[in-house]
């Protein structure tokens, strides 16, 4: 999305007219990710957006668990299983979280259930809903988490999504989360005259019990990589201030500490 076409965050926050115009703009100029998601490299081009480190980590899993947050129609899971026939003897357990339950999703889930029904030590699970609403003890000790235009990009509470992800990781486990553009999630530091990544990264670096790194995506956007440490986890909460639906939506938040001082 061309950020030059958007008003500054402060204008959007104060003007209902600007919000309506912005909603109309992002409806007509939804972000295009087809180039990144169409690939001969499984699973379904996730590697194009999350990077080769994600694919190496996925391929190294052995009877561990891969969770995909906001997985849509399970295409990445089906793609990974069908393309890597040599990988089948050591498929990881899969947990897929989605809000989309239609004919394609049901068909994909049935296929994966048959495949995993033939394996002894790994399982497949489909959870309907959003990650931030999951029972904290339902999924744990996860080795790998991916989120490509999933719950992190669309939730009205992205802080709760990331908090849930890191709480589900086992020590040493990693999460790869894709953020499509700066305006998709803007964390205010008091300077609302521009869209930038600095405020978001400052907030992310306040996480405890997690090592955070960032990588640029060749198709645009940014990858947030989180590695769970042995220390207790703490994710500073955010106060949501603005949510404009779209593909992707525009969200503006501020640290809850700043909100308490205001």
Confidence (pLDDT) at 42: 46
pLDDT of residue 216 exceeding 70, the answer is: yes
Share of the chain above pLDDT 70, in %: 87
Give me the mean pLDDT over the 96-123 stretch: 90
Give the model's confidence band at 2: pLDDT under 50 very low, under 70 low, under 90 confident, else very high: low
Q: In this structure, what are the phi and psi dihedrals at residue 228, rounded to the nearest 5 degrees? A: -75, 130
Note the pLDDT tens digit of each residue in 45-93: 688 788 889 888 988 887 799 999 988 888 888 888 887 656 656 788 9
CB 135 within 8 A of CB 105: no
Of 39, 40, 36, 61, which is closest to residue 49 (Cα–Cα)?
Answer: 36
Residue 206: the pLDDT is 95
Overall average pLDDT of the 228-234 stretch: 91
- Interval 199-224 mean pLDDT: 91
Task: DSSP letter for 229, please.
Answer: -
- Which of residues 211 and 74 earns the better pLDDT score? 211
Q: What is the mean pLDDT of residues 171-196?
A: 88
Does 129 have pLDDT greater than 70?
yes
Q: How far apart are CA 217 and CA 225, in angstroms?
A: 12
* Ordered domains of the chain (ranges, CATH): 8-261 (3.40.50.150)
């Amino acid at each position: 999305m061309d950020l030059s076409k958007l008003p500054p965050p402060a204008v959007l926050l104060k003007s209902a007219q600007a919000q309506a115009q912005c909603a109309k703009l992002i409806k007509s100029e939804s972000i295009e990710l087809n180039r990144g998601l169409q690939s001969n490299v499984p699973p379904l081009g996730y590697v194009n957006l999350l990077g080769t480190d994600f694919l190496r980590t996925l391929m190294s899993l052995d009877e561990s668990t891969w969770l995909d947050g906001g997985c849509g129609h399970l295409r990445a899971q089906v793609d990974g299983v069908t393309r890597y026939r040599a990988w089948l003897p050591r498929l990881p357990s899969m947990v897929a979280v989605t809000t989309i339950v239609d004919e394609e999703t049901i068909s994909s889930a049935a296929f994966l259930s048959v495949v995993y029904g033939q394996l002894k030590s790994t399982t497949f699970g489909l959870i309907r809903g959003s990650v931030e609403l999951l029972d904290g003890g339902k999924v744990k000790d996860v080795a790998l988490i991916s989120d490509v235009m999933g719950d992190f990009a669309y939730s009205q509470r992205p802080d709760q999504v990331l908090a849930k992800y890191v709480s589900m990781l086992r020590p040493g486990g990693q999460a790869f989360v894709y953020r499509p553009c700066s305006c998709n999630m803007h964390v205010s530091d008091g300077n609302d005259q521009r869209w930038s990544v600095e405020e978001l990264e400052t907030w992310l670096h306040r996480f405890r019990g997690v090592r955070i790194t960032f990588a640029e995506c060749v198709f645009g956007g940014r990858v947030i990589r989180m590695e769970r440490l042995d220390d207790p986890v703490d994710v500073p909460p955010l106060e949501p201030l603005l949510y404009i639906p779209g593909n992707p939506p525009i969200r503006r938040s501020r640290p809850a500490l700043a909100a308490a001082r205001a």
